[in-house]
Structure 1
Amino acid sequence: MAKGIGEFLMETVGEAVAEAILTLLACALLLGLGLIAYLSWSFSPRLTVAGAGLLSLFLAHGAWSVFRDPARGRGRRGLAAVTATGFALAAAVEVFLLFYGTGCGCL
């Protein structure tokens, strides 16, 4: 019985520590993204808006290439593969921030 209690406590403490680490990473990521936005805006607002527009086009092309039906017998190549990977990475970061960034307390 003591062994079962010890395993339960180790699992509970491990989950709490993992949750705290993931929340800390999400807060650091939010802080880093905010700092990048602030510094780029203070350097050049026009370049910031242009960069945001280019990033939006990149992600839109990635979403389009992920959700469209590829031609028969052909996989994604070149630009479509790069933008699809970028879109998938951005979506994964968004889901991570949705789950762990909301408990950050810095919002």
Structure 2
Amino acid sequence: MKGAVGVPRAAKGVGEFVIEAVGETAGEALLSRLTCALLAGLALIAYLSWSFSPRLTIAGAGLLSFYLAHGAWQTFRAPAKGRRRGLTALTTAGFALTALTPLFVLVYATGCNCP
């Protein structure tokens, strides 16, 4: 009789495994598609901005570089006491988001078959 008690427990364990495996597969597929959409969106923005005005595109890239450089500088230096953190927090968050984006793309865009 004790053998019959373990069967429902084993079936429950198998069911949980299947649900977890399907969830991981669906999540992986969703993140892969999201990464491909991110890459396509960035390429579209670059193409449209360059076709609109190459000079403004280069100027915007320069301003974005200064913004990210300020965020990186604020991230890796000791904080000053008694200073406001409004712009600093904004540039630090922008730098962190921009720094994590290539990692996200490297992890999830390996199988997206983007052209």
TM-score (norm 1): 0.90
Query: Which of 10, 21, 36 is the matching residue for 2:45?
Result: 36
What amino acid sits opposite 1:79 in the alignment? Answer: L
Please, which runs of 5 or more residues in structure 2 have no aligned partner?
1-9
Aligned-pair Cα RMSD in Å: 1.5
Q: Give the structure 1 partner of residue 93 of structure 2.
A: 85
Letter of the 1:57 counterpart: F
For residue 26 of structure 2, the aligned residue among 17, 34, 40 is 17
Give the structure with higher Rg (CA). 2
Q: For the Cα contact (< 8 Å) 1:70–1:76, is it kept in 2? A: no
Q: Once the 2 structures are TM-superposed, how far is the Cα of residue 94 of structure 1 from its aligned partner?
A: 2.4
Does 1:46 pair with 2:41? no
Return the offset for 1:76: 5.7
Residue 99, structure 1, aligned to residue 92, structure 2: no
1:67 equivalent to 2:62? Answer no
2: CA distance between counterparts of 1:57 and 1:102?
Answer: 30
Q: Deviations over 1:32-86 (max 9, x none)?
A: 0000000001111111111111101100110000000112x44661321211111
In structure 2, the residue corresponding to 1:105 is in which secondary structure?
A: coil
Aligned to 2:5: none
- Which of 3, 11, 21 pairs up with 1:2? 11
For the residue of structure 1 that corresponds to 2:46, the secondary structure is helix
Unaligned runs of 5+ in 1: none
Count of residue pairs the alignment pairs up: 106
2: CA distance between counterparts of 1:38 and 1:80?
30
Normalised to the residue count of structure 2, the TM-score between the two structures is 0.84
* Percent identity of equivalent pairs: 65
